[in-house]
Structure 1
């Protein structure tokens, strides 16, 4: 990798994909979406076309258009645009990686294939290597999300020695709950100066105690400013305040989970909180009843105003 790399740290919003009521991508929403993130939430890095963005439900061409628009509209406003290019087909992933390089994204990330699953860490590393090679000058991040892929390999086993295969490797987005594995990832990444970004929003504080460098998550679209306060308290050594904020965020997410929290509900919550017209999810996800999303949005409003319930 020839260019200097800025280490990925802090909060990264996993972005939703704006769709019209007819189910087509709606690029016109991205500019005001960026303004909302940066001005209202203080979040200046994004992770595009991932789980929250329904990336695996989009065509390759749609993913290209979205990545291009985020990079174009983000110039001068966003610090980093990380594009998820993972697909079931390695050729599609390679095409998206080359495209991300052509639009000057700040990095790319890849999940494990989940239909024909890699049988061991070496097989997965070979897949990642072939994708990374198509964008050798872009920082490369492995996206570990076993709950969605069904791939139960330990992330640390994927990381070990990967620098010999992928010179552009810069870290891992860890969306799992195995804190032992997470801790070992942090330990291994320290010697490489790589980033470990945590992806389970309601457990971020615990991951911070293990030394993660930041977080990628969907709730940072609308809880970004609140979570930044938690990070600030933690950095100042105020564990009590940090825990208090984490507990309140947990309450909001638990409330949403009891209502059936998924990507579809999350997207509708963002519609309600931000006022952006992000539209419905794409099938097979079903739209969330507006009343449920509004009740979650009310809880978020109470939290942002400093209320405990």
Structure 2
């Protein structure tokens, strides 16, 4: 997995959960089986680690380094690309994680906007991203756009304007917002070597119609095999089949949201469906109520009786 600015990132990327022990410590033992599950059962060959789904902001810098190295080592020869999220509230911490990602030969890095002291506009945010990227200038770089969580309501298009002059290694955006106009403008103005990836799983088909190159999401850990069929149907011009699969995913997530579909529930659902022991989330995220994940898993099997 040597760094390369030439590998186009497309298709499905699973945003991985961080395995914990029952005592709340990182659990590296599960990472190898996790990767095998994604590749063999879900047909997913790209991962986005230490992101929101991976509880990155609840992890120490040391823990994030240990996890990133384990993901990269275990994915070698099995995954196409491992993207390591290195965003932090501290510029120095983000730079430290970026240097480490280059050392462990991650395929790319991604950075979310800092959300405590928030950048006031696109230029400030680009300056922050430039400083992070500068310590590993050959490592492909992605901006992680998640305004609902960060509270940084700067259009992604404004961030992307002129960014490659500041960050020559810039290769795209993980767009986890619901503003499809902003998303479309990112797609329409992106050069051909960029990847514009969508991160709202229940609206993927709309993003594909807008020209999105792929998708990053937590549900692709366990519905990846079905979403691969959705993408294939779309690419083959079978919109009826693509819509059918998208509507099923919406039915599942709508059911889950009525039960309170937060990260703790999502993580436990992954454990239920995959058989992996991912452990509880870390506070302040609360563990899943015992019956919620089982109820959503039952709904999953009723909608998707087989992969």
TM-score class normalised by the smaller sequence: over 0.9
Contact kept in structure 2, 1:9 and 1:213, CA below 8 Å:
yes
What are the equivalent positions in structure 2 for 1:138-153 lying under 5 Å apart? 138-153=139-154
Determine whether 1:296 maps to 2:296: yes
Determine whether 1:254 maps to 2:249: no
CA root-mean-square deviation: 1.3
Per-residue CA deviation, residues 80-105 of structure 1 (Å, 9 max, x unaligned), is 00000000000000000000000000
Contact kept in structure 1, 2:176 and 2:200, CA below 8 Å:
yes
Gaps of 5+ in 2: none
Measure how far apart 1:3 and its partner are: 4.2
Q: How does the TM-score come out when normalised to structure 2?
A: 0.98
Contact kept in structure 1, 2:5 and 2:171, CA below 8 Å:
no
Q: Which residue of the partner structure matches residue 127 of structure 2?
A: 126
Residue 221 of structure 1 aligns to a residue in which SS? helix
Determine whether 1:282 maps to 2:282: yes
Q: Which residue of the partner structure matches residue 31 of structure 2?
A: 30
What are the equivalent positions in structure 2 for 1:121-270 lying under 5 Å apart? 121-189=122-190, 191-270=191-270
Q: Which residue of the partner structure matches residue 20 of structure 2?
A: 19
What are the equivalent positions in structure 2 for 1:74-153 lying under 5 Å apart? 74-153=75-154
Gaps of 5+ in 1: none
CA distance in 2, matches of 1:116, 1:4: 31
Per-residue CA deviation, residues 168-204 of structure 1 (Å, 9 max, x unaligned), is 0000000000011000000111x25200010000000
CA distance in 2, matches of 1:298, 1:135: 45
Measure how far apart 1:137 and its partner are: 1.2
CA distance in 1, matches of 2:162, 2:62: 33
Per-residue CA deviation, residues 46-89 of structure 1 (Å, 9 max, x unaligned), is 00000000001000000000000000000000110000000000
CA distance in 1, matches of 2:6, 2:93: 26
Measure how far apart 1:304 and its partner are: 2.6
- For these two proteins, the number of residue pairs brought into alignment is 306
Q: Which residue of the partner structure matches residue 63 of structure 2?
A: 62
Q: Which moved more, 1:298-307 or 1:39-48?
A: 298-307
CA distance in 1, matches of 2:230, 2:192: 27
CA distance in 1, matches of 2:69, 2:113: 23
Moved over 3 A (4+): none
Residue 295 of structure 1 aligns to a residue in which SS? helix
